[in-house]
Amino acid sequence: MKICVLPGDGIGPEITAEAVRVLKALDLKLELEEAQLGGAAVDATGVPYPEATQKLARAADAVLLGAVGGPKWDTLPREQRPERGLLGIRKDLSLFANLRPAILYPELANASTLKAEVVSGLDILIVRELTGDIYFGQPRGIEMREVEGRQQRVGWNTMIYAEYEIRRILKVAFEAAMKRGRKLCSVDKMNVLETTQLWRDIADEMGKDYPEVELSHMLVDNAAMQLVRAPKQFDVMVTGNMFGDILSDEASMLTGSIGMLPSASLDANNKGLYEPSHGSAPDIAGKGVANPLATILSAAMMLRYTFDQEEAAARIETAVKKVLAQGLRTGDIYEPGTTKVGTREMGDAVLAAL
Ligand code: NAI
Ligand code: MG
**Is the confidence at residue 242, as pLDDT, over 90?**
yes
Average pLDDT estimate for 181-202: 97
Mean pLDDT of the chain: 96
Q: 163-174: per-residue pLDDT in tens? A: 999 999 999 999
The amino acid present at 44, given as its one-letter code, is A
Report how many helices (DSSP H) and strands (DSSP E) the chain contains, helices first: 12, 14
What one-character DSSP code corresponds to residue 229?
H
Q: Is the CB of 203 under 6 A from ligand 1?
A: no
Question: For 266-306, how does the pLDDT look when each residue is reduced to its tens digit (9 = 90+)?
Answer: 999 999 999 999 999 999 999 999 999 999 999 999 999 99
Nearest in space to 203 (alpha carbons), one of 248, 162, 171: 171
> Is there a catalytic annotation at residue 249?
yes
Within 8 A by CB and 6+ apart from 149, the residues are none
Q: Is the CB of 291 under 6 A from ligand 1?
A: yes
C-alpha of residue 191 to centroid of ligand 2, in Å: 24
Among residues 61, 171, 183, 245, the one annotated as catalytic is 245
> Is residue 289 marked as binding?
yes
Between CA 74 and CA 56 the distance in angstroms is 27
What is the predicted pLDDT for the residue at 224? 98
Pocket test for ligand 1, best of 249, 278, 295, 320 (most atoms within 8 A of CB): 278
Q: Which of 137, 125, 131 is nearest to 174 (CA)?
A: 125
Interface predicted TM-score of the whole assembly (ipTM), two decimals: 0.97
pLDDT reported for residue 111: 84
Q: Is 258 in the pocket of ligand 1 (CB under 6 A)?
A: yes
Q: Check: CB of residue 187 under 8 Å from CB of residue 243.
A: yes
pTM for this prediction: 0.92
In this structure, are residues 243 and 257 in contact, taking their beta carbons and an 8 Å threshold? no
Distance CA 18, CA 37 (A): 18
The pLDDT > 70 percentage for the chain reads 100
Identify the pLDDT of residue 279: 94
The pLDDT of residue 314 is above 90: yes
Residue 162 has pLDDT above 90, yes or no: yes
pLDDT for 109 equals 87
* Known catalytic residue at 135: yes
- Cα–Cα separations (whole angstroms), residue 179 to 43, 82, 217, 308, 310: 41, 34, 20, 10, 9
Question: Pocket of ligand 1, candidates 49, 100, 258, 328: which has the most ligand atoms within 8 Å of its Cβ, to mutate?
Answer: 258
User: Cβ(122)–Cβ(252) under 8 Å?
Assistant: no
The amino acid present at 129, given as its one-letter code, is E
Task: List where CATH 3.40.718.10 sits in the chain.
Answer: 1-104+258-354, 113-255
Rounded alpha-carbon distances, angstroms, from residue 47 to 64, 73, 302: 20, 11, 27
pLDDT at 346: 98
Q: Which atom of ligand 1 is nearest to the CA of 283?
A: 11
DSSP conformation class of 29: -
Q: What is the pLDDT confidence band of residue 78, given thresholds at 50, 70 and 90?
A: confident
Evaluate: CB of 282 within 6 angstroms of ligand 1.
yes
* pLDDT band at 128; cut points 50, 70, 90: very high
**CA–CA distance, 157 with 140 (Å, rounded to integer):** 5
Distance 204 CA to ligand 1 centre (A): 39
* 91 pLDDT above the threshold of 90: no
Ligand 1, atom nearest to 284 Cα? 11
Which runs of consecutive H residues, i.e. helices, occur in the chain? 12-25, 39-45, 51-59, 82-92, 116-119, 163-179, 194-207, 220-229, 241-255, 293-305, 310-325, 343-353
- pLDDT confidence band for 157 (50 / 70 / 90): very high
- The torsion defined by the Cα of 106, 216, 273 and 67, in degrees rounded to 10, comes to -50
CATH architecture label of 113-255: 3-Layer(aba) Sandwich (3.40)
The DSSP bridge partners found for residue 63 are 4, 273
Q: What dotted CATH number matches 1-104+258-354?
A: 3.40.718.10
Cβ atoms of 97 and 311 within 8 Å: the answer is no
Decide whether any atom of ligand 1 lies within 6 Å of the 83 Cβ. yes
- CB of residue 86 inside a 6 A radius of ligand 1: yes
Active-site entry in 9, 133, 189, 271: 189
